[in-house]
Amino acid sequence: MRCGAPRVTTERKPRAARIDAPAALALVCCCALWGLNQVAIKAALPEVGPLIQLSVRSVVALVLVLAWMRWRGIPWHWHDGTLWPGLLAGLLFAIEFGCIFVGLQYTTAARSVVFINTSPFVVALVLAWLVPAERLRPVQALGLAIAFGGVAFAFAEPAPRASGWPWLGDALILVAAALWGLTTVIIRFSSLRHAAPEKTLAYQLLVSALLSPAAAWVSGTPWPAAWSALAIGSLFYQAVIVTFASYLLWFGLLTRYPATKVQAFVFLTPVFGAAFAAGLLEEPVGVELLVALVAVAVGLSLLNRRHR
């Protein structure tokens, strides 16, 4: 999260008709935190391998979410029909983040934050195929075309050469975006739709906490001999600030304010991500990537237009 907005939905009716100033500030802060997430991962990669980062993040965040659920009295019963869709969503979640963490070894954080935010277009295409009522209107199809055209244009930008395989990193991030979209569809069409959002998040973190350490062990990824302040700070940020605190804040905003208006703020995430990558990691952000950034934002805006 990531890495964009959390993969949960809520069915509770909002108590407010519009976004007030405190809510807008909170939403902007969430988008800034998510935009910084890829930068935090990338910064720690020279010291902590991608699967080790994913393992620590998943385990710590799972413990915090379970503690939160216990404190709030939120039950987690596996016999309510959510077990299998929860495990499937968790599997896709784990693979998705595995692709993100590994992909960031080969591509830049700036490129990744643009590519990962193509996920809503995957959701739109799948829903248009599965649900007749969700078929794309002309303006939404235009948004889809603009966004994908921008992403295609981004590949014209000279890619990072440090790894020798920059295309692999870009491809892994796009696969992660597709998996994120499929996770959203599964949540929407399964019993998870009516589950508490914390429970849905817990399923995803549980599977990731089980699979990522196993994947790290199988791949022979070594644990760091020593942990620098940068590495500890990055993992604390990923697990506590992003995966736990910002997602809970997001859930609260979704339950109090109109979901469509809340979701509109997500367009800011790739903007923050590209800016942080350029400012903190000194990554080059060329014209091609800026065009892709604008195209994705415009495409998302058109895609989320409602019938008048």
> How many Å apart are CA 300 and CA 52, to the nearest integer?
33
Question: Could you give the CA distance from residue 95 to residue 194 in angstroms, rounded to a whole number?
Answer: 24
Give the separation between CA 75 and CA 71, rounded to whole angstroms: 10
* Nearest Cα to Cα of residue 43 among 270, 213, 226, 228: 228
Contact 89, 188 (CB under 8 A): no
pLDDT, tens digit, 9 for 90 and up, residues 81-117: 999 999 999 999 999 999 999 999 999 998 898 899 8
pLDDT value at position 14? 47
- Per run of 10 residues, the mean pLDDT along the chain (length 308 residues) is 52 64 91 94 95 97 96 89 94 96 92 87 84 81 85 70 72 94 90 90 96 95 92 97 92 76 78 90 84 84 66
Q: Which residues of 252-279 are buried (b: 16+ CB within 10 A; e: fewer)?
A: ebbbbbebebbeebbbbbbbbbbbbbbe
Looking at residue 46, its pLDDT comes to: 93
> In angstroms, rounded to a whole number, what is the distance separating the alpha carbons of residues 96 and 173?
8
Predicted pLDDT at 308: 47
Cα–Cα nearest to 35, from 99, 97, 117: 117
pLDDT digits (tens, 9 = 90+) for 283-305: 888 788 888 888 888 887 787 76
Separation CA 53–CA 97 (nearest Å): 10
Are 5 and 34 within 8 A, CB to CB? yes
pTM as predicted: 0.86
